[in-house]
Amino acid sequence: MVMNSKYVYIKPPKSYPGKLLQNRYAYEHHVAWWLATGEILDDGYVLHHRNGDHKDNRIGNLEKKKVSEHAFEHGKRPIRHGTLAGYRRGCRCEACSKKNKDYCKQKRLVG
């Protein structure tokens, strides 16, 4: 078992098809979800800990949610891509980067 700031990593069973850290570890809650449901999360989904305890990985405490729903619940607004605000909030996709460059050219901050 390995710990990071919030979640627990474990060595999953050899048959676990999900994402691995350093080709050896997986999030304990993802493995618990897979063992109970047989389902690996698709992109755009997260597992929410209902009681807020990230180390309580009982299946009854886990809930599959869309990333946008989860962010909204925690008071985080999703980033609107292709905007200067998106770039300022940390998005570096091509559309947000272009908007930032256009803004800097307008304000003559870059040549």
Sequential DSSP letters for 18-71:
S--BTTTBEEHHHHHHHHHH--PPPTTEEEEETTS-TT---GGGEEEEEHHHHH
Q: What is the pTM of this model?
A: 0.64
25 and 11, same domain (yes or no): yes
2-24 mean pLDDT: 85
- Residue 32 or 106, more confident: 32
37 and 84, same domain (yes or no): no
18-36 mean pLDDT: 92
Q: In which domain, by residue range, is 83 found? A: 79-111
85 and 68, same domain (yes or no): no
CA distance 53 to 103: 42
* Closest to 83 measured CA to CA, from 98, 67, 105: 98
Q: How many CB atoms lie within 10 A of CB 28?
A: 19
Report pLDDT for 3.
60
pLDDT tier, 74 (very low <50, low <70, confident <90, very high otherwise): confident
12 and 48, same domain (yes or no): yes
16 and 68, same domain (yes or no): yes
53 and 24, same domain (yes or no): yes
Instruction: Give the count of domains, the chain.
Output: 2
- pLDDT surpassing 60 at residue 111: no
Sign of CA pseudo-dihedral 20, 7, 57, 59: negative
63 and 109, same domain (yes or no): no
Tokens 């307008």 belong to 106
7 and 58, same domain (yes or no): yes
68 and 85, same domain (yes or no): no
Helix, strand or coil, per DSSP, at residue 99: helix
25 and 46, same domain (yes or no): yes
